[in-house]
Amino acid sequence: MSRLSDADVRARNASAWLLPSGDERTNHRLRADMRRYDESDEVDVVVVGCGAGGGTLMQRLARTGASVVGLDAGPFWDPDADWVSDEAGSHRLYWTEPRVISGSDPVPLGSNNSGRGVGGSMIHYAGYTPRFHPSDFHTFSLDGVGADWPIAYQDLKPYYQAIEQELPVSGQSWPWGDPHDYPYSPQPLGGNGQMFVRGAHALGVTTKVGPVAIANGRFGNRPHCIYRGFCLQGCKVNAKASPLITHIPDALAHGAEIRPNCMVNRVVVDGRRRAIGVTYITGGVEHFQAARLVVVSGYSIETPRLLLLSGSKEFPDGLCNDHGQVGHYLMVQGAPQVAGRFDAEVRMYKAPPPEVSSEEFYETDPTKPYKRGFALQTVSPLPITYSEHVSAQGHWGEALREYMRDYNHWAVTGALCEFLPRYENAVTLAAETDRNGLPVANFSYSMCDNDRALEDAAQHTQEEILKAAGATETIAVKRYAHLVGGCRMAADATQGVVDADQRSFAVPNLYLVDGSVLPTQGSANPALTIMALAARCAERLAASRNQGAPAATRAGGGL
């Protein structure tokens, strides 16, 4: 690729130019002037959740002239007033409504998993934006594990390129998967990135700087990164991409409406199995928004939960759950994290945590006893998160304090292991209810032997790399990252919830565009793939609209 001129990107998506150019981060005028629909208006599309998938789709559809309303359970963030350059103070960015975790390997949620509010989890994601590899779309055919997608890498490639330009992504030329370049040159490295590169190169392991959704330079009215290291607390600078600044402004400029603080509690379906709108709770009162098309994009936990909450006479086991697929095959990447101690000062809190990656170990290696692989990245935890790493070693009291006093000497890397999709890893409804009286999600997770072997290998490789860089001691912790799946895309209704166009098999005018549709997860961070899929879905919806069938008679769910 392919650095498009800024003018070309702007013609397609003007978000970065719709933000203020001075010291303010929010275009309050644009929000105040936002088009507002009446609840009694039957809009073309209602979108549940304005995160990675929902935010992208809204921008695309608003540009086709469709009337679009986006509902989000959380706030319409203003980085100036709402976010802080502080770990504990960023608590409100996370989804902290109650959830229950179970299984033999329960996965902690909250700060480590999902966000709330316009921009979704990308508000506090690290900012890594790698593509999936072509092999990720056919793991069952290639390796006999996981699943085959009903689409291939080539189907997604043009959308990967488009989103990489719109975020935009910076990084070195990418040698892995389908080799490609990035629109922006790589960022300079901090101490943590330097240590990772030093160790990897000593072992002959290739690393590349990036790919991160932080422009190396100004982009539109978005300023340059100031290397302050608080990417996981929300970027107060507007340097790190999230839909709040990359897609929502353009959606508003094209007539979309965002309704924040609206928790959707039901997708309403008529007796003919067609969606007619959604009900949502705001200010303690239930409302109904009528729509010709419903798109759900609430993250891998809330999307299945909402479908299960939307059961009816036609759908006694939950919406779209005729074949017991809703909530299942939820995946999480194993993310063993290793810290190495250096005599030199690393001060990993300086620079964005996402700096350098290696995908050398991504693909199945026939000489290994396990299938699929892992990616390696820098992570740079701030003090609270790092204290969890230390205390996971069993240290407390004086030992904890002494390790923490040594914070500036440690470098930390993390792996992303491709844990396999399994039917029993699932979201179900718990007996416990939330403040609206709705049953909360129970997420059960258990690992398989292949997962454990991968996790051990990824930990060992990181220990070797840090030692090769000169670390005198390493300490490791087993963690998880990135939930996807739960309403997967499949070739037929007995295998998944949505088809290759992300339309639900059961309800022709109901689409899912968040990470829940992923059938496999690769070892890549998922946000770019979720956005690319949403862009593709929107384009196909718009194309079916242009074919001109009148809405009522369209067999499919086109606009």
Ligand X SMILES: Cc1cc2nc3c(=O)[nH]c(=O)nc-3n(C[C@H](O)[C@H](O)[C@H](O)COP(=O)(O)OP(=O)(O)OC[C@H]3O[C@@H](n4cnc5c(N)ncnc54)[C@H](O)[C@@H]3O)c2cc1C
Binding site for ligand SF4 (CB under 6 A): 214, 225-231, 235, 237, 239-240, 352
CA gap 171, 214 in Å, rounded: 9
Residue 231 binds: one of ligand X, other proteins, ligand SF4, none (C-beta under 5 to 8 A by kind): ligand SF4
352 binds, among ligand X, ligand SF4, other proteins, none (CB under 5 to 8 A by kind): ligand SF4
Contact 212, 187 (CB under 8 A): yes
What residue type is 138 in one-letter code? H
* Smaller CB separation from ligand SF4, 238 or 265: 238
522/137 Cα distance (integer angstroms): 9
What separation in angstroms does the CA of 482 have from each of 136, 280, 298, 465? 16, 27, 14, 24
List residues binding ligand X (CB under 6 A): 48-54, 71-74, 112-117, 120-122, 124-129, 232, 263-264, 297-299, 302, 306, 354, 482, 514-515, 525-528, 530
Residue number, 163 or 267, with CB nearest to ligand SF4: 163
Q: Please check whether residue 109 is in contact with residue 301, taking contact to mean a CB–CB distance below 8 angstroms.
A: yes
Cβ partners under 8 Å of residue 449, min gap 6:
none
The number of angstroms, rounded, from the C-alpha of 429 to the middle of its chain's C-alpha atoms is 23
Q: CA 77, 79, 85, 87: dihedral to nearest 10 degrees?
A: 10
Nearest-5° Cα angle at 421, 57 to 459 = 105
Binder of residue 38, out of ligand SF4, ligand X, other proteins, none (CB less than 5 to 8 A by kind): none
CB closer to ligand SF4 out of 237 and 441:
237
Q: Which of residues 363-402 bind other proteins (CB under 8 A)?
A: 382-384, 387-388, 391, 394-402
Q: 498 - beta bridge partners? A: 489, 504
Minimum separation from the CB atom of position 38 to other proteins (A): 34
CA distance 491 to 314: 23
Closer residue to ligand X in complex, CB, 51/373 = 51
Q: Is 550 exposed, middle or buried (0-12, 13-18, 19+ CB in 10 A)?
A: exposed
Structure token digits, residue 458: 């990824």
- Chosen from ligand SF4, other proteins, ligand X, none, partner binding at 191 (C-beta under 5 to 8 Å by type): other proteins
The site partner of 194 among other proteins, ligand SF4, ligand X, none (C-beta below 5 to 8 Å per kind) is other proteins
Tell the residue number behind the tokens 């029993």, with chain if given. 424
297 binds, among ligand X, other proteins, ligand SF4, none (CB under 5 to 8 A by kind): ligand X
Residue 8: DSSP 8-state: H
- Which of ligand SF4, ligand X, other proteins, none has residue 556 at its interface (CB below 5 to 8 Å by kind)? none
Cα 461 from Cα 200, distance rounded (Å):
10
Q: Are 256 and 35 in contact (CB under 8 A)?
A: yes
Minimum CB distance to ligand X smaller for 177 or for 515: 515
Length of the chain: 559
Least CB distance to ligand X at residue 414 (A): 10
Determine the Cα–Cα distance for residues 94 and 342; give it in Å rounded to an integer: 33
**Residue 265 Cβ, how far from ligand X at the closest point, in Å?**
7
User: What is the footprint of other proteins within residues 295-354 (CB under 8 A)?
Assistant: 341-347, 349-351
Name which of ligand X, other proteins, ligand SF4, none residue 214 binds, using a CB cut-off of 5 to 8 Å depending on partner kind. ligand SF4
**Is the CB of 4 or the CB of 262 nearer to ligand X?**
262
Q: CB 401 → ligand X: shortest distance, Å?
A: 26
* E strand residue ranges, 9-63: 43-48
Q: Name the residue nearer to ligand SF4 (CB basis): 80 or 424.
A: 80
Of residues 85 and 279, the one with the C-beta less far from other proteins: 85
Residue 240 binds which of ligand SF4, other proteins, ligand X, none (CB < 5-8 A, kind-dependent): ligand SF4
User: Which residue stretch of 120-128, 275-283, 403-411, 521-529 sits at the interface with other proteins (rule: CB under 8 A)?
Assistant: 403-411
Q: How far is the CB of 352 from ligand SF4 (least distance, A)?
A: 4
Which residue number, 29 or 224, has a Cβ lying nearer to other proteins?
224
What angle do the packed helices 527-546 and 52-63 form, to 10 degrees?
30
Name residues contacting other proteins, limited to 79-98 (CB under 8 A).
Answer: 80-89, 91, 94-98
Distance CA 252, CA 39 (A): 18
Distance in Å, CB of 364 to ligand X, minimum = 22
Kindly state whether residue 165 participates in binding other proteins, applying the rule CB under 8 A: no
| Residue 195 touches other proteins, criterion: CB under 8 A | yes
Residue 340, phi then psi, degrees to nearest 5: -120, 140
Residues 6+ apart with CB under 8 A from 272: none
